[in-house]
Structure 1
Amino acid sequence: MEQARAMNLIAQGTSLLAQGRIVDALRAFDEAIAADPENAEAFAHRGDALTDLGQPDLSIASYDRAIELAPRRPEFHDYRGIACARLGHLDEALASLDRALAIDPANLNAMNNRANVLKLMKRPQEALEQIDQVLSKMPEFAAAHNNRGNMLIELERYEEAIVSFDRAIELAPDQSDVTANRLIAVIRSGSTEEVAKACLEILATQPDHITALLTFAEILNNQGRGSDAIEYFTRVLKSQPDHIDALFELGLVLAAQRRFDDAIHCFQRVLTLDNKNVHALINLGAAFAEIRKPSEAFACYDRAIVLEPTISTGYYNRGWLLWELREFEQAIENIEQALSLNREEPQALETCLNLTLQLGRWEKFPTYLAELTQRIETRSGLVPPFPIATSTDDPALQKKCAANYAAIFPIAENEFGRPLTPHSERIRVGYFSTDFYEHATLYLLLEALEAHDRDRFEFVGFSFGRTTNDAWHQRAQTAFEHFIDIRGMTDGEAFQLARKWNLDIAVDLKGYTAGFRCNLFANRVAPVQVNYLGYPGTMGAKWMDYLIADHTLIPEPSQQFYSEKIVYLPGSYQPNSRPSEIPRRTTRHDHGLPDNRFVYSCFNNFYKTSPETFSVWMRILAKNEDSVLWLWVDNETARQNLRQEAARRGVNSERLIFASRAGHSEHLERIRHADLFLDTLPCNAHTTASDALRMGLPLLTCPGRSFAARVAASLLTALNLTELIAHDLEEYEQKAVSLAKNPAGMATLKAKLEYQIEHSSLFDPVDAARKLEAAFARMHERHQNGLPPDHIYLSEPPSPLPPNYGTKPISATIRR
């Protein structure tokens, strides 16, 4: 009687379990056990109910009792194995499944479950063999085909996995989990086109499929289609407002579009859901830093470091923000901490290299430079080209570094063909820059832009830097026929817009300097692309056709160190504004300078000063006691370090006089109080050189072999002042000493400089505009004639310099 009642209760419980009424089912099984304590079925079904309730530990006890009562029932061992697997007791799970198969070797469910356990145990090959046994006996078992696909994913046999998932879908079309697994296999297969196709196929029938939406959004974002990606991330969040991955990825896209307020909202939402998400904290801090909220940014970085003390990016971002706040000492401490945690932290090593130069803390400079050099030579890490271009005089190394870096930018598949007919009678040229405001680039270029010939050319400015609305920015806007702000656009959006302008020539005024957007040029915004003025070196890229230079900057034997074809302008490559009269408003005394001593000066950014250059300067001062050195160093830590370095070299530190930051016109007015500008090596004065020369201040340089090391020589050659170009550092030192002791010779030099300012073309922006236009016309003509880029000579090499002048190896940097 009780046994019959127990069987009825088991049937009732099984029905309730099928309806999802698990608690009611469990109650029925408990009553069945109370009616018949020896009923193995009741204990087994009770175990099932407990498993479904998420209590596998309790279910195992029920299965154990069922097995005790009926040890030859294979399904009881099978179910026990499933419960053990859910607890993560994989060895115990496998043992239970093995017992099930020992009792019934043909038990397909046990085989299938055993294969799943083997997969969890990271034994995918054995799992695959097991699942193949299942399919050999039951080839239309859809779940087994799905499991087989999962095993093949683990084995990285993605194409075979896709075939298995396709078979599972064919047998059971409505299984969304199989569709999702198939998508994973397609994603892992590495074919973006196939992944996108798979996502769209899923979304056509399942428009809210989360994995497909997320994956397709990421594809769009990687293609530079950030605005389209936002739509798909938003669709995920419409279905699942608390989806952390979608919120985080959306925040990254919004930050890339410089929509920092919206990005901040996303990252804050992530942290509401997971307040220990260190990656959200790091990116939230970066967004706060971008909108000039340093206190909030530091709070985020500090919280991330507390949560994960070994997170190197937290220290690096903290250090970068301190650098921007000009807290250089704390900045280098944080970035060196990032390096100690992760030697591969992106940009940390080169930032430390720069900071050692900025601070005059040179003891680690050789180590950092050697490590960066090794990374470049062995291609063991990505090194940004700019610090190498300004810290070494090795053009072969610089080219290799640039080529390594250029490889990260995907090259456009569709090149421009030869145009059949011109779109316009005028050549359309686009200038691309972040620096269309009061900036060194615009100091040089603005008047040449204003002097461009609009009858033969149409000029378009593409600005992706800050909008200041200062007088310089306003003049830049009017210098172009069309001025387009692409700052808030993704690279993909900016590229599409630029392409609509049908440019003939695109001029990159940034290269690898701050704020660059190389993706635009890698995708080819124009059939002819030109590297000019902003970056002192080669781009190392197939997508950059020309580099505008002159014969002094790049002698013909040095063409091998540049991936671009060289366009040789007459005179100097550098454009300049006309000299303007700046009244004297200050005296030497106002700047802390002695009235009756010779004033050497250097107003270069101090990161350009190598330890060897500084040693040469100290030897110059030691040989001329009646002199001082006037430097632009506006950081007190660096000033203290330089005083100590001078004392170590036997020079009274009081002979170092430091200038602070000043406006451009104030700077031009004050530099006339110096007697001689001492140039730096391996990175010369560029804009600061032309500033000095235009104000009548002679400049002494020692050219190296690389672009950045030959700029000052280019300017002096254009002014026919080659007597101020030293062959090597020994002659540089000798000239600096002898000039200071020869007042008559200095007066002759200054008179010659004054004459050349008036009569040379260096400070003639109209001439600079005509030279650039001649270069553009030759480039355009070659393209129109279907010819590939080639070196373009608008002038012959200048005669004053011997062919080997400044090209022999020098010791101005620590060499490999």
Structure 2
Amino acid sequence: MSVENQEADRAFALGLTHHQAGRLNDAEDLYRKALDLVPTHADALHLYGVLRAQSGDFTLAADLVERALAAQPENADVWCNLGAIYRRAGDLGRATQMLTRAIQLDPNLADAHNNLGNVLHTQHRWHDALGSYQKALELAPTVDSLCNASIVLLYLGQISNAVTLTRRAEQLEPNNPLVQACMGSVLSAVGRLPEAVAAYRQCLELDPSNVDARYNLGVTLEQQGDWTGALESYRATLVSDPAYIRAMSATLFMQRRLCEWDGTRELFSQVLDAIDQGRRGITPFSFLAEDSTPAQQLACARLWSADIEGTVGPAVEAAAPSGKGASDRITVGYVSSGFGDQPTSRLAVELFEHHDKMRFRTIAYSTRRHPDSPLKRRVHDAFEEWVDAESLSRQALSQRIIADGVDVLVDMRGYQDQAVSEVFAMRSAPVQVSFLSFPATMGADFMDYIVVDPFVAPTNQQENFAEQFAYLPHCYQPNDTQRRLPDQRPSRAQMGLPDNGFVFCCFNNSYKISPEVFDSWMRILESVDDSVLWLLNMNPAASVTDKLRREAAARGISGDRLIIAERMPHAEYLGCLAVADLFLDTWPYTAHTTASDALWAGCPVLTRAGESFAGRVAGSIVHTVGLSELVVDSAADYETIAVQLARQPERLAGFREGLVKARDSSPLFDMTRYTRDFESALEHMVEHQQAGKPPMGFSVDRDTS
């Protein structure tokens, strides 16, 4: 061996020692010294390439390892590391080729299986990724493969198995930042949020560059109600990685919730660019709060649904047609996490109660446990069968639904939190329907129909929906006519309101309050002397109240004219609506359940109808109850009518009297008629499917309703 080779080997060996100890600069100097002495030194090329990849220089890293591979074409470790580099560089095709070759050369190379799992994970092929991780664990269990498998198990809904693997990883290396990040994810999944926050913070102390942990810390803080802390984490994630799409989406939505409007236009523009570029990660539900078009909402939802379809293994078979006879009952499964004292139940409970048990067998698949309440008991008792599905994996829930012989599976969560969209992606029923909770397309081929009405979804919008329209003749949104109003209307003083002056109110969620809406509100207050605006503080821990009062002052309106109510029991909340003079709706995301509550309490609702489903729901509700003149098309008309009504008490009183009568006469509150229409729609869907026809839009005939 030449002197140069000997010196190169010594430099390489010392560089390797520094590399293993994390002293990357020293290691790089020695690897380069080895290569200066022997430019074809394969080991130095290989590990110098690995080091450059650790520093984020994937182009140089790939070039170095390719040169090492030319010298050692049968070295499985080199193929393996080159595959890992290409994965991090975003070239998943070449990464797969490299890792497959590594496994061919050495089937027992655990790192190759783990790295292939990472590629599959990046492609959202969860089942395939899990198979690779499990193979790696069989060969050589490491913290990396244990945590990787655990995260995939969480995606697949196998939480108990994820906990087991994470505990194994913690026993091996309790101070490994990867372990703490994984522990945070697991603890969050089982609802132990303070411990999850602590785990994420510990991870970030050990590794401040972990953007996934920083983003997940934000998610967990948001779940705890710490909106300000969540926004700080999301923003910090974007500082570290401006291309982190989920953090971009979460930052924009959290700014909406906190009414921190500075910079939202720029963020929204970035979100639109991401969707146009086909980049996944924008949350479809939060996107509805933006001034987005139905076509943009479809594009966003299609990207999201593609991720969901990636969680479904190729071996999953769709539910077969039931082959029911004409005399058999139709089995309808309702899937929701909102079967407690929640808006979903407040709207739909009477539909469940009115179902014709002679023609329909109804099953509730409850994906979240709720505290006992009178409303929860009503919902529970309305169903023929009740399945507590919170602890079931997505696959197990799908199998249960198929075993139950469900003909129509109704998704009452859509893309909101705690959704189980994977169950629908598995084709758990012959007919699958989106209903009530998600006011937009799900952009998914696995959803057949969406329940709509002619106002919320004009026929010219069908092209912007993946689902076929199932039109009900009146408003698509049901109502509970057993909502108890206060026996005695509370006084203004009891509600913290001034004795005199007109009371405008809006009890919508804060994320629906756009700066454009707020501008209109302030102009209305300026035009109506002694009027006040009554809002609801959805999160006392947040600073929304102070923020909105400052925004009012900046527009020349005293912050004292904004009256802020805290969250309260539903019956008290209905009493508030009975005291208010006029409900001012928001746009582009209008009131839904809140609009129904206001009208039921006798408070007229002024709304501006937009182009999207979410922007037309209040218009449908108000139109159906007979107050079409309160549905306007422009901000100018909205402001004009609000001011007119404040100055015309007789006209406003006529609206209120009409609402009292509407409780007994309007289709909006006729749940017997509504249920008959809804059941006609279900029967049409099943008959169409039984005839072997693909989903096709239809309308329930108004004359038979």
Is the TM-score greater than 0.5? yes
Report how far residue 247 of structure 1 moved: 3.8
Cα shift readout 1:401-435 (whole Å, capped 9, x = no counterpart): 11121111227765566665549811111111111
Post-superposition shift, 1:186?
12
Q: Which letter does structure 1 place at the counterpart of 2:405?
A: N
Query: Would you say the 8 A contact 2:588–2:615 is kept in 1?
Result: yes
Residue in 2 that maps onto 1:744: 650
Q: How far did residue 596 of structure 1 move?
A: 2.4
Q: 2:107 is matched with which residue?
A: 179
CA contact (8 A) 2:497 2:563 kept: yes
Alignment of 1:566-645 (within 5 A): 566-579=469-482, 580-584=484-488, 586-634=490-538, 635=540, 637-645=543-551
SS at match of 2:518: helix
The amino acid of 2:180's aligned partner reads L
Alpha carbons 1:447, 1:765 under 8 Å: kept: yes
Give the distance between the partners of 1:121 and 1:504, measured in 2 at CA: 59
When residues 645 and 94 of structure 1 are mapped into structure 2, their CA distance, relative to the original with a 3 A threshold, is closer
Q: Residue 646 of structure 1 contacts residue 652 of structure 1 at CA under 8 Å; is this kept in 2?
A: yes
Superposed displacement of residue 766, structure 1 = 2.1
| Structure 2 CA distance for partners of 1:659 and 1:121, relative to 1, 3 Å | closer
The number of residue pairs the alignment matches comes to 660
8 A contact 1:158–1:189 mirrored in 2: no
Whichever residue aligns with residue 602 of structure 2, its letter is G
How far apart, in 2, do the equivalents of 1:485 and 1:119 lie? 53
What is aligned with 2:460?
557
Shift of 1:337: 1.7
Structure scoring higher RCO (CA < 8 A, sep ≥ 6) equals 2
For residue 444 of structure 2, give the secondary structure of its aligned residue in structure 1.
Answer: coil
| Aligned equivalent of 1:358 | 257
Q: How does 1:385-534 map to 2 (within 5 A)?
A: 385-410=284-309, 422=325, 425-534=328-437
Distance 1:373 1:772 in 2: 36
Check 1:729–1:220 CA distance in 2 against 1; reply closer, same or farther (3 A cut): closer
1:186-197 equivalent positions in 2, closer than 5 A: none
Change in CA separation of 1:116 and 1:777 when aligned onto 2, cut-off 3 Å: same
* 1:313-367 superposed Cα distances (whole Å, 9 cap, x missing partner): 3433333333333333333223212221122335322222222222222112212
Contact 2:110 2:137 (8 Å CA) reproduced = no
**1: CA distance between counterparts of 2:214 and 2:100?**
43
- Which of 692, 705, 728 pairs up with 2:598? 692
Question: Residue type matched to 2:261 in 1?
Answer: W
In 1, Cα distance between equivalents of 2:547 and 2:95: 59
- Separation (CA, whole Å) in 1 of partners of 2:117 and 2:192: 43
CA contact (8 A) 1:116 1:147 kept: no
- CA deviation profile, 1:673-697 (whole Å, cap 9, x unmatched): 1011111111111001000101111
1:719-734 equivalences in 2 (<5 Å): 719-734=625-640
**What is the alpha-carbon distance in structure 1 between the residues aligned to residue 114 and residue 188 of structure 2?**
38
Matches of 1:124 and 1:330 in 2, distance apart? 42
Which one of 158, 170, 180 corresponds to residue 281 of structure 1?
A: 180
Q: C-alpha separation between the residues in 1 aligned to 2:580 and 2:443?
A: 39
The C-alpha deviation readout for 1:502-557, integer Å capped at 9, x for no partner, is: 22111111111111111111121112111110101011111111110000111112
Question: 1: distance between equivalents of 2:193 and 2:110?
Answer: 45
Structure 1: distance between partners of 2:446 and 2:354: 29
Contact 1:223 1:492 in 2 (8 A): no
For residue 563 of structure 2, the aligned residue among 643, 648, 657 is: 657
Classify 1:727/1:186 alpha carbon distance in 2 versus 1 (closer, same or farther; 3 Å): closer
Q: Classify 1:264/1:541 alpha carbon distance in 2 versus 1 (closer, same or farther; 3 Å).
A: closer
With normalisation by structure 2, the TM-score equals 0.83
Q: Distance in 2 between matches of 1:92 and 1:323?
A: 50
In the alignment, which of 249, 261, 269 is matched to residue 370 of structure 1? 269
Report Cα offsets for 1:173-192 as digits up to 9, x if no partner: xxxxx332599499859999
Paired letter, 2:515: P
Give the Cα separation in 1 of the matches to 2:155 and 2:306.
Answer: 21
Identity of aligned residues (%): 30
- 1:60: which partner in 2? none
8 A Cα contact 1:257 1:489, kept in partner: no
The equivalent of 1:540 in structure 2 is 443
Distance 1:520 1:289, change over 3 A: closer
Identify which of 569, 575, 578 aligns with 1:669: 575
Please say if residues 224 and 492 of structure 1, whose CA atoms lie closer than 8 Å, have aligned partners that are also in contact: no
Larger Rg, first or second structure (1 or 2)? 1
SS of residue paired to 1:362: coil
1:629 Cα offset (Å): 0.9
CA shift at 1:729, angstroms?
Answer: 1.2
Confirm or deny: 8 A CA contact 2:508 2:594 kept in the other structure.
Answer: yes
Q: 1:223 aligns with which of 122, 127, 130?
A: 127
- The unaligned stretches of length 5 or more in structure 2 are 17-29, 50-63, 87-93
3-state SS of paired residue (1:593):
coil
One-letter amino acid of the structure 1 residue matched with residue 268 of structure 2:
L
Q: Please give the alpha-carbon distance, in whole angstroms, between the structure 1 residues aligned to 2:69 and 2:184.
A: 46
2:673 equivalent to 1:767? yes
Q: In structure 1, how many angstroms separate the alpha carbons of the residues matched to 2:209 and 2:475? A: 50
Distance change in 2, residues 1:90/1:751 (3 Å):
closer
Matched, 1:311 2:239: no
Is 1:332 the counterpart of 2:235 in the alignment? Answer: no
TM-score (norm 1): 0.73
Alpha-carbon distance, 1:152 to partner: 10
- How far the C-alpha of 1:558 sits from its partner, in A, is 1.9
Q: CA deviation at 1:722?
A: 0.6
Superposed CA RMSD in Å reads: 3.9
Does the residue aligned with 2:614 lie in a helix, a strand or coil? helix
**Aligned AA for 2:337?**
T
Contact map agreement 1:153 1:185 (CA 8 A) in 2? no
| Structure 2 counterpart of 1:141 | none
What SS does the corresponding residue of 2:387 show, helix, strand or coil? strand
The alpha-carbon deviation at position 646 of structure 1 amounts to 1.0
Q: Which residue of 1 aligns with 2:21?
A: none
